[in-house]
């Protein structure tokens, strides 16, 4: 393409070339009428060999210009001069995400990656809601301002150039390193191709390199289609399993297995990373408990208290139309004030120990008292103490109708099993405390629950003693005559 530095396109004087690509060159220019610095993307003249190009170019640029969003680079103007179509956009001084990745060959910190992905997702989801697919998302299309905020550029440019590139034989439209496998099939272009490219970019941000390499563009496309997704933890051992799972779902080869939106990918990533938002841009913490009076739906608060932060963020964004970062900050504040109840490991509670001790202590005197009342020959020393008379030891009956040894033994085992199981179940249930409720119980209510637990323990012990009496009477009923 001809060097345009120093020339004028319409009311724009070109100052310097700031980017070069197969589909366009980008220049820094100044709008002479108002003295505003702008960026101009100039398409190659051979695109005009396609007679329908200018019509499609005008139609698509007008659609793109309607994308008014804080995370999308605004389009100011467009036109054609000397056979060169061009688009005029805002000029960003902070470089691109590709520059940030190049400056960190070992990978960006996880919180920084989450910060960029969150803002990129806002732009992609907004464009998708308007029926616009980027088609060529990559780090060099992610521009940054001086405050490190994201502005996504080049929406729809790939669609404008696709038919012309095929007609002129100028090559593949898009960047193979970020292209989803289904883009090689008819009808494969859906918003999920942008989600796939975001997953590739996330891998690149965290590792400093793209996931698939090959000698030719076609080889890269084949790798995306058939090669397994590489493990980012091999290059970044500090990354968690959750981060790798997010990358794998974002880069799933089957579109149905991918995140349905870029925002859901960003929400999961933000839950694995510490907050990366600059202090000036963080959501102001609420001065009191979040609730319906603050416009926060009660179901969101309930989800946070149940430990379901991802679902809470999604519900809050859907209800209030908030950005991902704002919604996450509100959920974090709710969680700070009302953390989800932690699950405690199972162990013997005080009530369990009390019931067991009482059962073992009371079962012995209860057993002896029943033996004395029945006058059974099983306990001569007790008979002596009860009657005050010394009697010779009763013979042990080993067979016949008077044999009560085995019934007594079975009865004792049954009672002991009932006591132990009952104590563990009832004591364990009460020892774990009440189920979590939307609001904590008052001290008086907690004290009442403690007394109830003690009362139940006493009742269980008494029932066990009564069970001993009944079983002993039943097992001895056939051993004594009238």
Per-residue pLDDT of the chain in tens (482 residues, 90 and over written 9) = 567 888 999 899 999 998 876 677 899 999 999 999 999 988 877 776 777 777 777 877 887 888 889 899 988 998 888 888 889 999 998 889 999 999 988 899 999 999 999 999 999 999 999 888 888 899 999 999 888 899 998 876 655 545 444 443 444 557 899 999 998 777 668 999 999 999 999 999 999 999 999 889 899 999 999 999 999 999 999 999 999 999 999 999 999 999 999 999 999 998 887 654 443 333 334 444 445 445 677 788 888 877 788 888 888 777 766 777 677 777 777 776 666 555 444 455 565 566 666 666 666 666 665 555 555 544 554 445 445 554 555 444 444 444 555 555 566 666 666 666 665 555 554 444 444 443 444 556 656 666 676 677 667 767 766 776 666 666 555 544 44
User: Would you state the pLDDT for residue 329?
Assistant: 75
* Distance (Å, whole) CA 127 – CA 136: 13
* Number of residues assigned to the chain: 482
Q: Where are the alpha helices (DSSP H) in 210-297?
A: 217-226, 241-250, 262-272
Q: Which residue, chain included where needed, has tokens 């941000």?
A: 205
Name the residues annotated as catalytic.
136
User: What span, in angstroms and rounded, lies between the C-alpha atoms of 232 and 240?
Assistant: 10
Residue 256: predicted pLDDT:
93
The CA distance from 10 to 27, in Å, is: 14
Cα Rg, the chain, nearest whole Å: 38
Structure tokens at 393: 């030891």
Q: Which residues on adjacent β-strands are paired with residue 150? A: 144
Q: Write the Ramachandran bin of 400: left for phi over 0, alpha for psi from -120 to 50, otherwise beta.
A: left
Which of these, 203, 75, 100, 210, lies nearest to 150 by C-alpha position? 100
Neighbours of 37 (CB within 10 A): 13
- The per-residue pLDDT for 440 is 43
Q: Assess contact for 276 and 111: CB atoms under 8 A.
A: yes
| Residues forming a β-bridge with 30 | 13, 37
For residues 152 and 72, is the Cβ–Cβ distance under 8 A? yes
Give the integer Cα–Cα distance in Å for 124 and 137.
Answer: 9
CATH number for the domain whose boundaries are 8-90: 3.30.200.20
End-to-end CA distance of the chain: give it in Å, rounded. Answer: 122
Closest residue by Cα to residue 466 from 425, 406, 419, 407: 419
Residues whose CB is less than 8 angstroms from the CB of residue 151 and which lie 6 or more positions away in sequence, other chains included: 71, 72, 73, 90, 92, 123, 142, 143, 144, 145
| Alpha-carbon distances, residue 67 vs 131, 156, 207, 470 (angstroms) | 11, 11, 32, 83
Tokens describing residue 335: 């969680």
Model pTM score: 0.57
- The Cα–Cα gap between 105 and 102 comes to 6
Element (H, E) at 38: strand 36-42
pLDDT in the model for residue 352:
59
Run of H or E including 143: strand 142-144
Coil vs helix vs strand at 89 = strand
Question: What is the residue-wise DSSP string for 409-436?
Answer: HHHHHHHHHHHHHHHHHHHHHHHT-SPP
Query: Could you tell me the two tokens for 460?
Result: 């269980």
Alpha-helical runs (H) found in 251-286: 262-272
Where does the chain hold its CATH 3.30.200.20 domain(s)? 8-90
**What's the rounded Cα separation, in Å, for the pair 217 and 226?**
15
pLDDT for the residue 162: 52
Contact 251, 264 (CB under 8 A): no
Residues 6+ apart with CB under 8 A from 448: none
Distance of CA 425 to the CA centre of its chain: 35
How far apart, in whole angstroms, are the C-alpha atoms of residue 383 and residue 373? 9
CATH 1.10.510.10: which residues of the chain? 97-282
Query: What is the CATH architecture of 97-282?
Result: Orthogonal Bundle (1.10)
Contacts of 406 (CB under 8 A, 6+ apart): none
CA dihedral sign, ordered 53, 59, 65, 71: negative
Closest CA to 358 of 252, 271, 231, 457: 457
Could you give the CA distance from residue 386 to residue 424 in angstroms, rounded to a whole number? 36
């Amino acid at each position: 393409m001809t060097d345009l530095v120093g020339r004028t396109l319409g009311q724009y004087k070109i100052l310097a070339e700031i980017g070069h690509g197969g589909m366009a060159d980008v220049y820094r220019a100044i709008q002479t009428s108002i003295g505003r610095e702008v960026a101009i993307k100039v398409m190659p003249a051979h695109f005009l060999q396609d007679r329908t190009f200018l019509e499609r170019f005008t139609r698509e640029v007008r659609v793109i210009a309607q994308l008014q969003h804080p995370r999308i680079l605004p389009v100011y103007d467009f036109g054609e001069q000397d056979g060169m179509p061009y688009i005029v956009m805002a000029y960003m001084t902070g470089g691109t995400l590709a520059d940030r990745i190049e400056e960190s060959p070992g990978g960006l910190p996880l919180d920084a990656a989450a910060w960029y992905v969150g803002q990129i997702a806002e732009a992609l989801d907004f464009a998708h809601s308007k029926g616009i697919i980027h088609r060529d998302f990559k780090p060099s299309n992610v521009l940054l301002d001086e405050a490190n905020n994201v502005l996504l550029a080049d929406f729809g440019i790939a669609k404008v150039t696709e038919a012309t590139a095929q007609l002129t034989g100028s090559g593949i439209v898009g960047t193979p390193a970020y292209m989803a496998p289904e883009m090689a099939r008819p009808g494969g272009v859906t918003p999920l191709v942008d989600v796939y490219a975001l997953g590739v970019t996330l891998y690149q941000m965290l590792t400093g390199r793209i996931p698939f390499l090959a000698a030719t563009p076609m080889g890269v496309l084949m790798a995306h289609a058939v090669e397994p997704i590489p493990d980012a933890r091999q290059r970044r051992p500090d990354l968690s399993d959750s981060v790798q799972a997010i990358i794998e779902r974002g880069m799933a080869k089957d579109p149905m297995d991918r995140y349905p939106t870029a925002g859901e990918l960003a929400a999961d990533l933000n839950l694995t990373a510490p907050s990366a938002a600059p202090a000036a841009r963080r959501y102001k913490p609420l001065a009191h408990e979040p609730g319906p009076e603050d416009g926060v739906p009660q179901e969101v608060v309930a989800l946070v208290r149940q430990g379901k932060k991802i679902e809470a963020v999604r519900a809050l964004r859907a209800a209030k139309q908030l950005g991902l970062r704002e919604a996450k900050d509100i959920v974090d504040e709710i969680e700070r004030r009302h953390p989800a109840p932690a699950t405690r490991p199972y162990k013997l509670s005080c009530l369990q120990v009390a019931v067991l001790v009482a059962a073992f202590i009371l079962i012995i005197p209860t057993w002896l008292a029943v033996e004395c009342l029945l006058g059974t020959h099983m306990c001569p020393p007790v008979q002596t103490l009860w009657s005050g008379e010394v009697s010779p030891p009763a013979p042990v009956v080993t067979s016949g109708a008077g044999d009560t040894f085995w019934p007594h033994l079975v009865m004792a085992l049954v009672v002991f099993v009932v006591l132990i199981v009952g104590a563990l179940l009832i004591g364990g249930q009460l020892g774990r405390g009440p189920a979590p409720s939307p609001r904590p119980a008052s001290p008086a209510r907690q004290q009442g629950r403690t007394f109830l637990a003690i009362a139940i323990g006493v009742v269980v012990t008494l029932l066990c003693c009564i069970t001993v009496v009944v079983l002993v009477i039943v097992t001895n009923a056939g051993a004594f005559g009238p």
